[in-house]
Amino acid sequence: MNRLLVLVRHGQSEWNLKNLFTGWADPGLTDKGVAEATEAGRNLNARGFEFDIAFTSVLSRAQRTLTLMLEELGQQDLETVRDQALNERDYGDLVGLNKDDAREKWGKDQVHIWRRSFDVPPPGGESLKDTADRVLPYFKSDILPRVLDGERVIVAAHGNSLRALVMALDDLSPDEIIKMEIATGVPIIYQLNEDGSVASKEVLES
């Protein structure tokens, strides 16, 4: 399992449950989110995965997810790098708003554009393109070299920061990536070639 990269979106958060725009706000995991993270760790352990290093964001929902997975893997002391570059997309003025309330305030079509366009940011926030412009340089400078050196790397992050990575890894167009959803607590397993291209990809469903 050389050049192994595993991506995991955090388990369900309290604001996911309440249908709120979360962004860089820092709610914790729900009981379901804890269970999702634990199950992800169990599934990885059942497949015999071990890791050399972990990366996560500075937000607690991603960090807690990683901690729960590493407990199941028996790797509680794994070297872990936390960086703001892996944070969720910043939703700006939408943070903390219920998505239905936002539609009432700005209109259904406008909120849809903010949520699902590639390069139109909400007021005061980031588009998916902005998020990718933050995530991908960090991936290329800090994460990818570790993978290409043969280390086994796990990344616990967020729906949009991981979509940015998947877009690059899978060579997806903006139209393709905005239609993609990344499930909470479901590992995405990549094996990379020497040049960083994808040799194989597997979504590790329960």
Is a pLDDT exceeding 80 seen at residue 206? Answer: no
The residues that bridge with 188 in the sheet, in sequence order, are: 7, 203
Residue 145, domain CATH: 3.40.50.1240
Half-sphere CA count of 148, side-chain side, radius 13 A:
13
> Which residue type is seen at 185?
G
Looking at the chain, the whole-number percentage of residues with pLDDT higher than 90 is 96
Q: Which domain holds residue 119?
A: 4-203
Q: What is the pLDDT of residues 40-92, one digit of tens each?
A: 999 999 999 999 999 999 999 999 999 999 999 999 999 999 999 999 999 99
Q: Is 88 one of the catalytic residues?
A: yes
| Arithmetic mean of pLDDT, 133-138 | 98
| pLDDT, tens digit, 9 for 90 and up, residues 157-183 | 999 999 999 999 999 999 899 889 999
Mean pLDDT of 107-111: 96
The single residue of 39, 72, 88, 126 carrying the catalytic annotation is 88
Active-site annotation holds for 112: no
Give the list of residues 6+ apart from residue 147 with CB closer than 8 angstroms, or none: 3, 4, 5, 153, 192, 196
Domain count, the chain: 1
Residue whose pair of structure tokens reads 């990718």 in the numeric block: 132
The mean per-residue pLDDT over the stretch 106-124 comes to 95
Q: Supply the mean pLDDT for the chain.
A: 96
pTM over 0.85: yes
Considering the candidates 10, 36, 72, 126, report the single residue annotated as catalytic.
10
